[in-house]
Amino acid sequence: MERFDLIVIGSGPGGYVAAIKAARLGLKTAIIEKDKIGGTCLNRGCIPTKTLMHGTNFLAEAENIKKAGITFTGINIDFFRLTERKNEVVEKIRSGIENLFKANGIKVFSGRAAIISHNTVRVELRDGTACGETADLVAKNILIATGSVPAVPKIEGANLENVVTSDDLLESGGRQYRKLLIIGGGVIGVEMATIYNGLGCEVEIIEAMDRILPGMDREISQSIGMGLKKKGIVIHTGAKVTRITEGGAYGLACEYIEKDSVKTAEAEGVLISVGRRAYTEGLFGEDVNIETESGYIKVNSNFETSIPGIYAIGDVIRGKQLAHAASAQGVAVVEKICGLEPSVDLDVIPSCVYTVPEVAAVGLSESEAAEMGYRVKTGKYPMLGNSKTMLSMGERGFIKLVCDADTGRILGAQLLCDRATDMVGELALAISRKLTYKELASIIRPHPTYEEAITEAAEDVDNMAIHVIPRKTL
């Protein structure tokens, strides 16, 4: 029976970061993974989708290249090579994490974990030399970072062939459909729509809410919706899928209700993308009664469960299901265990959507700030006035700042533009450090860059942006 200071269950972004942080702080650390190192984000989520999207974006760039005066003939999509490249990137990152485990002295156990007491984890080993054997590990602290799996609603026909989840598409070699129907217009659905549209596939989205990306700023949702429609993607909102059947010109028929009318959409493949649920199957032994709520593990402000010494982070608890949020939570737990002051601001978490153009948001939207009682002022800069956007032949978009009119403090930011996901970190820092829009505007940003738009948006709060037509005032 091996003893550790910390046992981490799950090697996704939350788990592996926590394990490395713990080892760096001198804790004897073990990590248990039932599948592949890296978890959902690396193997079936963030990295595969962004790699595929990077590849398909070259097709759009090709059109811009022609506009720039460079001509060529013949562009073909090699779907096999595209997915092969995705696998290469995933494998390279996975190998890097494994090397970090070795370098930091972290012991890795491959197998399925079950917590059998407040300090003991039983691992059903699946190593080639020890398959079927079990090992009991004892630790002062246990961290649950088992992540999530796709939620599949109770829809008739959801188990049919070619009705898939994002995990199915991204972990496998994938498949190139003639037409793909996506149930759910959230982040995953919109990103997959962008990828498959880029591959030349017909794409149709059915979303139950009144708009796609319902969790984002309404203006961004509307702008992304218009952009997707312009690319030929069909979008139904306020629509509910009732059943999926075999048949039709493509092989599958999806029945849905829209505006009290029963309609049918046909497709070769149906992607179910209606969110994810916490993964806890087989995690707790008979004598371990950890409190849960609606399938999620309940934790306190220190991410400690109802059993002292057992913690949980990431998708397995309520909150934003984001890789970087899980990583930050992992760091926070380890620092708490080591008696250190927290080094991460967990209240400011950016969200990103990797469409074209990109979407990023942090802090409060305009409506959220108003609902919380703030007197709101906003500044907005349209990206078509930005020199870098123009010379790069970028898409329409904007940067918007949401501010407290009484103090000038920045409360939130929404970005719809090229490199939005790279720029949002600066705005997260501004919100975390409680900067005002005037302080944000005081920084000299290089020209020509996308970042110049941040200065313009900050100056626009007072209607003083240089490259914006001034608003009429009474």
CB 378 within 8 A of CB 400: yes
Among the residues of 403-462, which ranges form H helices? 420-432, 437-441, 452-460
Measured CA distances, 402 to 217, 413, 467 (Å): 11, 6, 19
Q: Which residue has the tokens 């790279």?
A: 422
Q: Residue 247's closest CA among 270, 216, 225, 223?
A: 270
Annotated active-site residue in 54, 118, 236, 447: 447
Please provide residue 227's backbone torsions phi and psi, each rounded to the nearest 5 degrees.
-65, -40
Measured CA distances, 212 to 5, 203, 260, 276, 425 (Å): 45, 14, 19, 17, 24
Q: Which residues contact 290 (CB under 8 A, 6 or more apart)?
A: 115, 284, 297, 298, 305, 306, 307, 310
Distance CA 123, CA 125 (A): 6
Q: Can you state the percent helix, strand and coil of the chain, rounding each to 5? A: 35, 30, 40
Secondary structure letter of residue 285 according to DSSP: -
Is 447 in the active site?
yes
Longest C-alpha distance within the chain, in Å?
A: 79
Tell me which amino acid residue 95 is.
S
Secondary structure letter of residue 380 according to DSSP: E
Q: Which residue has the tokens 């220190």?
A: 302
Residue 62 has which token pair? 């090709």
CB 17 within 8 A of CB 151: no
Q: Residue 126's closest CA among 116, 137, 134?
A: 134
Q: Which residues contact 309 (CB under 8 A, 6 or more apart)?
A: 118, 119, 140, 141, 142
Residue 420 has which token pair? 């939005």
Secondary structure letter of residue 195 according to DSSP: H
Q: Which residue has the tokens 């979008």?
A: 235
Measured CA distances, 103 to 6, 24, 107, 424, 432 (Å): 17, 10, 11, 32, 33
CB 224 within 8 A of CB 420: no
Residue 50 has which token pair? 């962004």
Residue 335 has which token pair? 């620092």
Which residues are designated catalytic?
447
